[in-house]
Amino acid sequence: MKLVDAHVHCSELPDDELINYARFNGLEYNLTELLNLMEENDVELGLLLSPPIRGGTPAPNSRIIKLCQKSNDTLFPILTVEPYEDEVFLSMRMAKEYKGYVKGFKIRLGYVEIFPDNAVYDSLYDFAEAENLPVMFHTGDTATSTGSLKHSHPLTLDAVANLRPELKIVICHFGNPWITDVAELIYKHPNVYADISGLVAGEGGRYSEKYSDSLAGKLSDVIYFADGADKVIFGSDYPVETYSAGLNLMRKLKIDPEDVEKISWKNAMKVFFPES
């Protein structure tokens, strides 16, 4: 089965905060390993997002571009945009400089204490609409115990989607544990999608197999509610989740093969690679 992974992290920086997840999953967490794993699992394309580094900031976007350039057109960059005017300006400048190469933006709701309809992002959303670039939003549980759940709750995206029907929005991690809220968002808004990345972190726990079954049941219910999987996108969140865990979850979905194909690659191509 062909796959596109819409949510991958890597920095190769020593103070990368995801190193702990990588160790837990027995991963080396570097570009070579990632590209090998992608090939082994038939993942043809991936979107690379900045991981957090110590101190709470994301790894620089320039680093993400550099790693993508070393990947032989396997990985493409998503620029992480922090909520400051100069950061918004710089990320748009970078997207212009690498036009066609940069495939979207990412906003870290819950790690930054800001709601997505804050005016600081207005120019970014204008730009993203004009360039047909999606904006990804971290939602749901935060990897640190100090994250702000009020800000990472997916329902805050309803206001943005109401105001901006042309903006392509990708809700990361299906808003977990607020999966039913995200079901309504993707059903209600034609341009709102959700990725299933990083849902099965921490394999090997006492209830991990039961949890994976329960998630597969919930996601299948979402797909019945939305009458199909047109808005659901595969992602791993490497190194937070392994391909074996992510693909195992996909296999458990009780849906038609055509919907599996949409989740595996078709929806990601439509959202991130509309020109191809």
Residue 24 half-sphere exposure toward CB, CA atoms < 13 A: 16
Structural contact between residues 8 and 49, judged by C-beta atoms closer than 8 angstroms: yes
Query: Residue with the closest Cβ to Zn ion?
Result: 237
Site residues (CB under 5 A) for Zn ion, limited to 47-66: none
* CB 9 to Zn ion: min, Å: 6
Q: How far apart are CA 67 and CA 200, in angstroms?
A: 26
Using the rule CB under 5 A, give the single segment among 162-170, 199-207, 216-224, 231-239 that binds Zn ion: 231-239
Using the rule CB under 5 A, give the single segment among 112-120, 140-148, 208-216, 235-243 that binds Zn ion: 235-243
182 vs 255, beta carbon nearer Zn ion:
182
DSSP letters spanning 17-76: TTHHHHHHTT---SHHHHHHHHHHTTEEEEEEEPPBBTTSPBPPHHHHHHHHHTTTSSEE
Which residues are CB-neighbours of 226 under 8 A, at least 6 positions away?
A: 183, 186, 187
Using the rule CB under 5 A, give the single segment among 89-97, 144-152, 155-163, 232-240 that binds Zn ion: 232-240
Using the rule CB under 5 A, give the single segment among 21-29, 126-134, 175-183, 230-238 that binds Zn ion: 230-238
Give the distance, in angstroms, between the CA of residue 95 and the centroid of all CA atoms in the same chain: 18
* CB 49 to Zn ion: min, Å: 6
* CB 235 to Zn ion: min, Å: 8
Count of chain residues binding Zn ion (CB under 5 A) = 1
* CB 57 to Zn ion: min, Å: 15
Q: How far apart are CA 8 and CA 132, in angstroms?
A: 21
78 vs 192, beta carbon nearer Zn ion:
78
103 vs 164, beta carbon nearer Zn ion:
103
Which residues are CB-neighbours of 28 under 8 A, at least 6 positions away?
A: 22
* CB 197 to Zn ion: min, Å: 6
Verify binding: residue 241, Zn ion, rule CB under 5 A.
no
Which residues are CB-neighbours of 184 under 8 A, at least 6 positions away?
A: none
Environment class of 275 (CB within 10 Å of its CB; exposed 0-12, middle 13-18, buried 19+): exposed
By CB under 5 A, name the one of 5, 195, 237, 241 that touches Zn ion.
237
80 vs 267, beta carbon nearer Zn ion:
80
181 vs 237, beta carbon nearer Zn ion:
237
Q: How far apart are CA 109 and CA 129, in angstroms?
A: 20
Provide the token pair at 8: 């991958």
Contact residues for Zn ion, defined by CB under 5 A: 237
